Structure 1
């Protein structure tokens, strides 16, 4: 069975799933070279299918998702389009909205949420979504009607209409939600038009796809599942996130959690003119002096707008404490006390909210006579490494799994898995956790390396290495900085050593040096990679192994200063043979008398996605002070080195 998963929102992606195997997750930003790109075009689908040698005629079903309030846009509707109509291929496939509620395509169309992209294009030229839209999609939005609204209204349950705080959720029996109507209530049958072929398809709720990805990718037979991202909330049920329970091939989203954590973190980041990942790194420089427990909870714990009120609260506290507010949000003075303490206070708040949420979810499942030692976490908020670590260390759950593509790029995988297991009822084979779950990029870029080498042969020195791992290890041992372009690229926002810049962590100056190579702010920290099984020699305080750079560890030694943040933390990646050539590099580097630890950061420049094309890798070499780039076993250096 072939399932095509399409995510049209920001961080747009395409997944091809063959039975239980994900053949590819094609992140469109890598190919369009536009970070967090919105939308899918027909050419993207063609390129993705060609990479895995799948024809349009081979596709049995398709699944579609978007980001909340982001329209589905079809610049070539005759080639790629979604019709709100049923297909004969839907026959016999359960859907509570059709089977129990009799919702017709016309009625479902009425549930579409009014999108905001045309308004942003006309009135908010500085809005971040403007930067994410390709020109062809902007033209479609402004000049045609070839769009569909976002759909986030699916099954409605009276219990969910009650305004429940996290404390209320904690004490509620949700056992009545563990039924087929609930687990079949978050999708609706539509028809995908793909170059003239009509394919039976399903629109999935955003957070349903998040929780499906987290659970079905996990190694657990059963688990509690939490999702949360930066969407708003209040009386809107689904946009913030869900509490769910998964068992075997079944998935039960048993209540919306209406968490404000993601939106609060996003607005705080905007207020300080940083993206959320940078705010997380900045928080280590400060102290949480503005933190207040009155902001811990979900939307129904507040009698205010939690996001904007949090920022106002911090500034009011800062003023009363005598802080100089002159440089608040000034990126040239980002290390001023007002900025670092604001970041630290926001970070602590989000950690406390998430700990409270996980505890409420645990108690609600206990109240529902459901017990599991396992927790899965997804949605953009799950990129917060310190919060994930505290959940692992302090929550009631013994095991915590956070998959690599937890942002919206993972929705195309999650919706395809949700259809295969939960809707079609295919048996689930449990798989052990492995780094291979991250290496889902295509093979076309790797196959194009010879073409790139030919194109640049007059501009660079090319050496084919007999033992590439040894060559890389010796370069790093001599304190050279290199970039890796090897194998299939990583899915998700973290570089996991297939598209990475690697340096020696024993030289403190490499912190500044690599930031300068990447044109990043000099205060921003770097992550270590470490051989699996040797983590405890250098780190403690987080679950090992940690394959996807999603947990923070505390550093034991003073010998790796280039990856030691100011609070002695670092988000580690455990390396084994499934990680590819970097495993051999680390072993050879260790054999030279070094610790089994290296510095790792993403292979890209400022405001760029991770590099996907070999030509771009060589251009990076030519325009920066990096010492060498390795395209598989080819070492590329500037002329004259």
Structure 2
């Protein structure tokens, strides 16, 4: 942040090319951002850290920031080993994890007062937190024990269904193939804020919830309580009814908790954060049924987004309180390092790749026609989006009209054929498919599921799931970027919509720079061309 404004954000995995950057510190990402924005390390005034993991002996400054603030210089050399001696401060400010989730949701939205629901696997001493914010003053209203973690319940369900602990998105897609029963693994009473397990559940979880063993306790409960009674079936669809029950559980929990929050505050605006806020079906129901007039999220409600909150709270502690966005600003999405035409040209020259330069209108027309022919297009345009969703800067694109293009795209991604594909659409695209209108603050980030009209669904057969929904991204019209490309697609095909998934292969982080984009084209035979405005690189 510079002078109260976020100018850049970057996750370490995009630099090291190791998904989730296990065991790595953030130093490479920090250096890349400082270099990109011309900031010398000595100019750094404050460093925020999105967990309250301060070492013993940390100072506790007086502040109206809730949940405790701690300051220490004892871990700086551990976290930033080659940068520590250059930094303008050695102090790191440690904040409550859920407060950082709440702060990023608040400051990246245009509402002066709002409720914030934070729900994830765990964050400090709780798993779900209810906040109210009034002109920058945060109040923690309630926090619920880690043993009632919505994120842990859902993550364990994903692992039980052989989709992996990080497979929550897959489980949500699988749930649409199953019919729900009356089983709800957990319930929440909005009157007295109490959680309960279904009385039919068996296993140690039902008698003694142990946070240190909570994941294994949930797996044991699933194995002893639900079909197929073992996490070993080779057929994903055996787990579809189970997935449907888990999805219904998290949706009803989310609704009940938001009703509790609104009862406590009387607020009309709700902001969603935490990893559970990536559940687009739950978000849709909250937007439609919770009673809030506005429901919004951010580009990265997961843990990666807490860096925004930590930086903003650090500025607030320095007496430079940031402000929420103005209502006129576009949704904040693109935070990666700037990419110049010179950088693209240098990359093409170094890798010996032949490319054609086109003016913007020609380039969009060419790309639209390529998509209409059923080609898979790698789209690399400007600064990268932050967070887990491809939102029009680092995307693999295909036409939704034919299944064949989706099959090819799935081969590039190593995705199962049964998984749904997301659509990016303009307002005309939403109307053209008879869809529910976009939800401001959710649909901008692909955080809301939308039902597609029955008669219109065949126009986008590859982008509509088995339950006739799509996790639609609303893309505004504009003079440059993704919106004009979708407009060109509409002019060519009659529907301004594309299948949009992240520009990477299975197990790899999203592409960051031109070298990585060219490498992906070279390695993936099912990608027909790479578009890096103003250049088009076609497979020879």
Judge which range, 188-197 or 52-61, deviates more: 188-197
For the pair 1:628 / 2:529, whether they are aligned, the reply is yes
Instruction: State the Cα deviation string for residues 54-96 of structure 1 (Å, max 9, x = none).
Output: 1112222121124x8xx79xxxxxxxxx99656xxxxxxxxxx
Deviation at 1:250, TM superposition (A): 1.5
Q: How does 1:370-449 map to 2 (within 5 A)?
A: 371-421=266-316, 424=319, 426=321, 428=323, 430-432=325-327, 436-443=331-338, 448-449=343-344
Aligned to 1:335: 237
For the pair 1:354 / 2:247, whether they are aligned, the reply is no
Aligned to 1:247: 134
Deviation at 1:283, TM superposition (A): 1.0
- Please give the alpha-carbon distance, in whole angstroms, between the structure 2 residues aligned to 1:542 and 1:270: 34
* Candidates 8, 16, 33, aligned match of 1:24: 8
Deviation at 1:399, TM superposition (A): 0.6
- Please give the alpha-carbon distance, in whole angstroms, between the structure 2 residues aligned to 1:313 and 1:519: 31
Deviation at 1:429, TM superposition (A): 5.2
Judge which range, 248-257 or 602-611, deviates more: 248-257
Aligned to 1:553: 450
Aligned to 1:238: 125
Q: Is the 8 A contact 1:260 1:307 kept in 2?
A: no
Q: Is the 8 A contact 2:407 2:417 kept in 1?
A: yes
Q: CA 1:84/1:197 → structure 2, altered by over 3 Å: closer, same or farther? A: farther
Q: How does 1:600-639 map to 2 (within 5 A)?
A: 600-624=500-524, 625-639=526-540
- Please give the alpha-carbon distance, in whole angstroms, between the structure 2 residues aligned to 1:272 and 1:593: 39
Q: How does 1:202-281 map to 2 (within 5 A)?
A: 202-231=93-122, 238-258=125-145, 259-274=148-163, 275-281=167-173
For the pair 1:33 / 2:43, whether they are aligned, the reply is no
Q: 1:345 aligns to what SS in structure 2?
A: helix
Q: CA 1:41/1:402 → structure 2, altered by over 3 Å: closer, same or farther? A: closer
Q: CA 1:341/1:185 → structure 2, altered by over 3 Å: closer, same or farther? A: closer
Deviation at 1:590, TM superposition (A): 1.2
Deviation at 1:603, TM superposition (A): 0.7
Matched residue pairs, number? 501
- Please give the alpha-carbon distance, in whole angstroms, between the structure 2 residues aligned to 1:423 and 1:540: 46
Q: 1:273 aligns to what SS in structure 2?
A: coil
Q: How does 1:154-233 map to 2 (within 5 A)?
A: 181=64, 183-191=65-73, 192=76, 194-197=84-87, 199=89, 200-231=91-122
For the pair 1:595 / 2:485, whether they are aligned, the reply is no
Q: Is the 8 A contact 1:184 1:423 kept in 2?
A: no
For the pair 1:473 / 2:364, whether they are aligned, the reply is no
- Please give the alpha-carbon distance, in whole angstroms, between the structure 1 residues aligned to 2:428 and 2:138: 34
Q: CA 1:563/1:85 → structure 2, altered by over 3 Å: closer, same or farther? A: same
Q: CA 1:294/1:486 → structure 2, altered by over 3 Å: closer, same or farther? A: closer
Q: CA 1:30/1:446 → structure 2, altered by over 3 Å: closer, same or farther? A: farther
Deviation at 1:578, TM superposition (A): 5.7
Deviation at 1:42, TM superposition (A): 3.7
Q: Structure 1 stretches of 5 or more lacking a match? A: 1-16, 73-81, 87-96, 100-179, 366-370
Q: 2:366 aligns to what SS in structure 1?
A: helix
Q: How does 1:46-195 map to 2 (within 5 A)?
A: 46-66=31-51, 97-99=60-62, 181=64, 183-191=65-73, 192=76, 194-195=84-85
- Please give the alpha-carbon distance, in whole angstroms, between the structure 1 residues aligned to 2:438 and 2:494: 24
Q: Is the 8 A contact 1:542 1:551 kept in 2?
A: no
Q: 2:47 aligns to what SS in structure 1?
A: strand
Deviation at 1:583, TM superposition (A): 1.3
Q: 1:592 aligns to what SS in structure 2?
A: helix
Aligned to 2:406: 511
Deviation at 1:293, TM superposition (A): 6.3
Instruction: State the Cα deviation string for residues 19-74 of structure 1 (Å, max 9, x = none).
Output: 232110011111111111244254442222001111112222121124x8xx79xx
Deviation at 1:482, TM superposition (A): 0.4
Q: CA 1:391/1:381 → structure 2, altered by over 3 Å: closer, same or farther? A: same
Q: 1:231 aligns to what SS in structure 2?
A: strand
Q: Is the 8 A contact 1:374 1:398 kept in 2?
A: yes
TM-score (normalised: structure 2): 0.86
Q: Structure 2 stretches of 5 or more lacking a match? A: 78-83, 198-206
CA RMSD across the alignment: 2.7
Deviation at 1:279, TM superposition (A): 0.9
Q: How does 1:542-581 map to 2 (within 5 A)?
A: 543-545=438-440, 546-556=443-453, 557=456, 558-577=458-477, 580-581=480-481
Q: 1:22 aligns to what SS in structure 2?
A: coil
Q: Is the 8 A contact 1:481 1:628 kept in 2?
A: yes
Q: CA 1:580/1:284 → structure 2, altered by over 3 Å: closer, same or farther? A: farther
Q: Is the 8 A contact 1:290 1:317 kept in 2?
A: no
